[in-house]
């Protein structure tokens, strides 16, 4: 049980490093769904498959900080 708690408590920090302007609407929506509104914004997100998939989709716009 404690392993599950540790696994669910792991987070990643995602930073918006490039603007989504000029990118397709679905990529803009993905950036918004990650909670990134302004350039340089950093958000803590749970480290799971769905978040990793969204980050992968906009990997050219964001930077991931593990931890």
Is there a contact between 47 and 24 (Cβ–Cβ < 8 Å)? Answer: no
Locus of tokens 């918006």: 16
Residues whose CB falls within 8 Å of the CB of residue 25, separated by 6 or more in sequence, listed in order: none
pLDDT confidence tier of residue 1, bands split at 50, 70 and 90:
very low
For 2-49, what is each residue's pLDDT tens digit? 555 555 569 999 999 999 999 999 999 999 999 999 999 999 999 999
What is this structure's pTM?
Answer: 0.83
Nearest to 10 by CA among 41, 38, 42, 48: 48
Rounded CA gap, 52 and 1, in Å? Answer: 24
Nearest to 48 by CA among 16, 8, 14: 8
May I ask the CATH architecture of the domain 2-66? 2-Layer Sandwich (3.30)
Sequence spans of domains, the chain: 2-66
């Amino acid at each position: 049980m404690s392993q599950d708690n540790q696994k669910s408590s792991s987070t990643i920090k995602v930073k918006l490093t490039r603007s989504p302007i000029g990118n397709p609407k679905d990529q803009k929506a993905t950036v918004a769904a990650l909670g990134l509104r302004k350039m340089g914004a950093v958000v803590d997100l749970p480290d799971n498959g769905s978040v990793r998939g969204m980050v992968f989709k906009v990997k050219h716009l964001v930077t991931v900080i593990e931890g």
